[in-house]
Every structure is written in C-alpha cells, then in structure tokens.
C-alpha cells in the first residue's frame, strides 16, 4: 500500500497531531521495508515529534532493531537528543531493548553522558 501511495505522490512530510511522520510510525511498528521506501522517497530520518523524538528514538524504545539499523544506515545521528536530553541509547536501555542497545553501541552511541548517580545532564 505504501508503495502505491508513494507512486501516486503521497507527501512523506505530513505529520500527525503528535508530530509523527510516516517514518516515526514505521519506526514504532518495525516496518523496515516501509522505512526504506520512505527514506528513498525523501522522508527525513531525523524528523522530530512533539517531544523531540526522531524515528531512531522510537525504534529503539520499541525494540525495532532492523528498522533502527535502516535509519542509522541512512545517515541519522546515533547520538541525537530529544527535548529531555535522552538519546536513542537511553530509550533502548530504559525499555530493556538489548538488541537495539547493542546495535547503537556498535554504531558509536555515547554511553558516558550520565553523572555518578546515573542522572542525565
């Protein structure tokens, strides 16, 4: 369906009331083929929702490692911060998403940006 929509000129920049783009939704649902199609058709891999979350944050939070890797391969910043200074690696750790956490570390995610009490700066 997505390919048909894109073929007929669907706007990949439209947002929901929460500020989600189609890329955010593909990240949440782990729709890797959709994410690839969206990125090929000009979707912004670093689009921010109302909380400052990018598709990388949402893929990490929902444990969608294949989709997260697709976003990172497109050139998205592995250390992008949301409005609370949380990076995708924080979302993966908080939600217990080991596969995403390991992937983010392999891609160079910064792990040393918490103070001695484990608080974010």
Express each pLDDT in 53-87 by its tens digit.
999 999 999 999 999 999 999 999 999 999 999 99
- Whether the pLDDT of residue 114 is over 70: the answer is no
Say which residue the tokens 């998205």 belong to: 76
CA dist list (Å): 88 to 6, 40, 41, 50, 60: 28, 22, 24, 16, 6
Here the tokens at position 12 are 């990949």
Cβ atoms 66, 30 nearer than 8 A: yes
pTM of the model: 0.89
Here the tokens at position 56 are 């990388």
Indicate if the alpha-carbon torsion angle 74, 114, 84, 67 is positive or negative.
positive
pLDDT in the model for residue 106: 97
Cβ atoms 107, 78 nearer than 8 A: yes
Cα(21)–Cα(12) distance, rounded to whole angstroms?
Answer: 7
Domains by residue range for the chain, with CATH: 2-106 (1.25.40.20)
Cα(84)–Cα(52) distance, rounded to whole angstroms?
Answer: 8
- In the chain the first and final C-alpha atoms are separated, in Å, by 43
What digits encode the pLDDT tens for the residues 22-43?
Answer: 999 999 999 999 999 999 999 9
What digits encode the pLDDT tens for the residues 83-109?
Answer: 999 999 999 999 999 999 999 999 999
Cα(120)–Cα(27) distance, rounded to whole angstroms?
Answer: 24
Cα(14)–Cα(91) distance, rounded to whole angstroms?
Answer: 25
């Amino acid at each position: 369906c997505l390919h048909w929509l894109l073929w007929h000129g669907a706007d990949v920049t439209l947002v929901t009331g929460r500020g989600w783009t189609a890329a955010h939704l593909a990240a949440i649902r782990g729709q890797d083929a959709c994410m690839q199609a969206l990125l090929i058709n000009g979707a912004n891999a670093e689009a921010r929702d109302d909380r400052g979350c990018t598709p990388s944050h949402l893929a990490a939070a929902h444990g969608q490692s294949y989709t997260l890797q697709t976003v990172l391969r497109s050139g998205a910043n592995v250390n992008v911060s949301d409005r609370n200074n949380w990076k995708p690696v924080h979302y993966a750790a908080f939600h217990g998403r080991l596969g995403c956490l390991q992937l983010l570390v392999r891609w160079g995610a910064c792990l040393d940006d918490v103070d001695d009490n484990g608080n974010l700066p």
